Chain A
């Protein structure tokens, strides 16, 4: 790790030339190899995504048929969760809080950053491993411990956290249940993220192959680079806030509790003098950059998949990079647009409205560049490409519907309604997740040496695309009608009754989409056995991960690659092939 130029570093070459003879548990379980860790992250995160998805499938029953007995599976739950087969409100709130927490902190981010970042970055920059392999292993295991703590809270007598993934005090401080467990789990996850992000930054700065300048890096690496800075700088405030909330709950301090609280008819015996809004500031100072942590890696993956499948260089490579950097900076000064209704002054809300509008500009540049990259290409509609293409309109819907929420006047009516849920799910679910699915289908052959089935892939794509839109599009209608989120029984409100049929429709769509994931699960595991053998460069791509053998050996490259050009030299005139890898000298 001490040297940035490993071509002049003999021990690493020796290291990369022979497969070390390690016992099984060191090679595949407590491994320090970035590829094994990347696969561990990917598989773990996919399992967590499935768990988080299942929680939502349960909640969808209660939302579609409030207060009705759950068929078939009611017996699986304890009396603290379901009474007579009917979901209790406190269990519904637990499912809601944990769905958000699991999807974001245990699913999407670990998959996008821990999984893809770990596996792909060292290969794409021509490095033998991450800069700090042991730290890398530590961040995976911290993540796993944090995840297990989170999930295990469902099995504790008091149940899981039930104050939303946002955990706003005073509710989160006075709430019964596993909020303390949630905070402890978060501390582990944040430590994991911090170690990982430092590792990525050092790796990208220090371990790039000879000739691989910053403006020859694949856009995916750039996206991960900016993401790592966001994680590194945004998480510490939440770390501090989580410790303070932990103190409030366990040691009865009052960091977030004002004086004179009367809870359930009793004056709360605490010192008081705290401020509940402080938590929201600290939380959103992380959680807004977190949105870009979710979206940037997916955009990076789309750039890789789209250039490869259009056989054409990226449109506006540099402006995309500048936009990404600008986006990273701006993401730190928009957080309070989540808090427009907390009685902030008009000067503050004016500032945050302006920054929110400004941050949409680089997003539009990136999206427009990706769409324009299709122009003049020769588009191959392989499964990864289908997901990458679908990412574009899905992200566009998610981004555009952020506009009314970013304007305080429109936000008055839409705040905390289903409109918000539709908006951020379009960003994260059909947006980011489509990017991540594209990445799985794209790099699977490199990781496993086998291709995934195109037929199953296309079925999975269609089912997911239709499912996602049937789930999230109606939410905008519900939100405009004023239906609030996080309601155990929406039909209690007269203004939510007219759109209740949409809840039934959404639930059925969600259950159907769950069935639509079965082809993916079969494909993911089955292709390990039945998949067609893949050669070193099955997609005829240009970036360095395709320049080594499939699957790459320990140490990645037999000889350190030399880079001659930018990442997306497809269809270069005067060449025999329509792709010119970064490490190949070329025909003339």
Chain B
């Protein structure tokens, strides 16, 4: 279908993903070595000690040194995997949350069966939102009385981010547990109602990718697909402006004509509460 995805790991375009991929490769090499060693021993023992005329079992148990070495080897390797790989990666992914002044902050709110993406707009602040305001046309439930939310940008199933800039996602869900999965970013995090979970990543190249839901969330789980578009900072800025709410003309809401480069925006943009989804 496209060159980002194949039979191996999807292409990695995140700053932290290479370390994860490296760990996955290292473990698999370790697993393969251990398994092949075991398996050769197994087959050899089966052939050597097969029941046949004149062959008798030996009552005495051989006291091999090998198993002890093997145990120590396995234990040491696990320590290496933990201390050398998993802990540092997790420290990077979970603890070193980027500085809010540098990062692009985005709220992602899962629902059956769509991803609502909420940008703070030019003021850099998210407007207040509440469950009682969540209705068609206002998927993240922005408070219409809150002036801070007037410039906020809300899209459905379309997440655009600038390349080479940390993105800090505040992830939540309005109904059931979803899991926000960006295969090419090596990002996967459960979206849990009642919690706002920080997730961050930084893209290293532009392109059009996808968002998947990785946690069973109901009968539409299989189609909870979003579009994930990594753009140059300029293109991203243009896109954000194009999605900004058109509050000057509230009487006849106009849905902006889809740009040629965003044919994939099949689902409508919902900018604040001024335009309605088609």
Contact = CB atoms under 8 A, between A and B. Distances in A.
A360 B174 CA distance: 38
B91 A361 contact: no
Given A262-B174, A407-B81, A494-B2, A415 B193 contact: no
A484 B35 CA distance: 26
**Which size class do B's interface residues fall under?**
35 or more
Nearest to B30: A403
A376 B51 CA distance: 11
B132 interface: yes
B255 interface: no
A267 interface: yes
Interface stretch (B53-61, B118-126, B147-155): B53-61
Question: Which of A494, A572, A573 has most B Cβ within 10 Å?
Answer: A494
A371 B49 CA distance: 12
B249 interface: no
Contact of B186 (A361, A413, A485): A413
B216 A163 contact: yes
Given A312-B59, A315-B61, A346-B95, A498 B187 contact: no
Contacts of B179: 341, 415-416
Question: Which of B50, B94, B130, B190 has most A Cβ within 10 Å?
Answer: B190
Contact of A365 (B51, B60, B71, B85): B71
A407 to B, nearest CB: 4
Interface in A443-498: 477, 480-482, 484-490, 492-498
A277 B192 contact: yes
B195 interface: yes
A313 interface: yes
A201 to B, nearest CB: 30
Contacts of B28: 404
Interface stretch (B221-229, B240-248, B270-278): B221-229
A322 to B, nearest CB: 13
Contacts of B58: 312, 376-377, 571
A275 B194 contact: yes
Contact of B55 (A375, A378, A493): A378
Interface stretch (A226-234, A348-356, A434-442): A348-356
A401 B213 contact: no
A93 B219 contact: yes
Contact of A499 (B4, B7, B187, B223): B7
Interface string A406-448: 0111101111110000000000000000000000000000000
A374 interface: yes
A407 B86 CA distance: 6
A68 interface: no
B183 A378 contact: no
Contacts of A157: none
A481 B6 CA distance: 7
A410 B89 CA distance: 9
Nearest to A357: B78
Contact of A265 (B7, B135, B190): B135
Contact of A353 (B42, B86, B186, B213): B86
B7 A477 contact: yes
A6 B20 CA distance: 61
B131 interface: yes
A148 B112 CA distance: 32
Contacts of A164: 216
B5 A494 contact: yes
Nearest to B78: A357
A417 B183 CA distance: 11
A170 B177 contact: yes
Nearest to A264: B112
Interface in A389-412: 389, 392-393, 396-397, 400-401, 403-404, 407-410, 412
A514 interface: no
A481 B7 contact: yes
A392 B70 contact: no
A416 B49 contact: no
A502 B193 CA distance: 35
Interface stretch (A127-135, A253-261, A297-305, A526-534): A253-261
Contacts of A490: 222
Interface string A77-96: 00000000000111001001
A361 B176 CA distance: 37
Contact of A261 (B27, B57, B193, B197): B193
A379 B58 CA distance: 11
A353 B67 CA distance: 24
B105 interface: no
Nearest to A317: B61
A282 to B, nearest CB: 15
Nearest to A574: B59
Contacts of A375: 45, 49, 62, 64
A495 B30 CA distance: 27
A261 B175 contact: yes
A236 interface: no
A379 B49 CA distance: 6
Contact of A393 (B39, B175, B195, B220): B39
A393 B38 contact: yes
A41 interface: no
Contacts of A364: 70-71, 74
A261 B174 contact: yes
Given A368-B67, A396-B38, A409-B93, A495 B219 contact: no
A570 B57 contact: yes
Contact of A492 (B2, B93, B131, B222): B222
27 contacts: A88-B219, A93-B216, A163-B216, A168-B177, A260-B130, A262-B175, A264-B175, A315-B61, A316-B67, A343-B197, A349-B90, A350-B87, A361-B75, A364-B70, A365-B67, A371-B38, A372-B62, A378-B49, A379-B46, A381-B51, A392-B42, A397-B35, A403-B31, A404-B24, A408-B90, A409-B89, A489-B223
Interface of A: 88-90, 93, 96, 162-164, 168-171, 174-175, 258-265, 267, 275-277, 310-313, 315-316, 341-343, 346, 349-350, 353-354, 357, 360-361, 364-365, 368-369, 371-372, 374-381, 389, 392-393, 396-397, 400-401, 403-404, 407-410, 412-417, 477, 480-482, 484-490, 492-499, 570-573, 578
Given A89-B221, A96-B216, 17 more contacts: A88-B219, A171-B218, A260-B194, A261-B175, A310-B49, A311-B56, A311-B57, A313-B59, A341-B190, A374-B42, A403-B27, A415-B188, A486-B216, A495-B4, A496-B5, A497-B5, A570-B57
Interface of B: 1-2, 4-10, 19-20, 23-24, 27-28, 30-31, 34-35, 38-39, 41-42, 45-46, 49-51, 55-62, 64, 67, 70-71, 74-75, 78-79, 81-82, 85-87, 89-91, 93-95, 111-112, 130-132, 134-136, 141, 174-177, 179, 181, 183, 186-190, 192-195, 197, 210, 212-223, 225
Closest 5 CB pairs of A and B: A258-B194, A409-B89, A171-B176, A376-B58, A311-B57
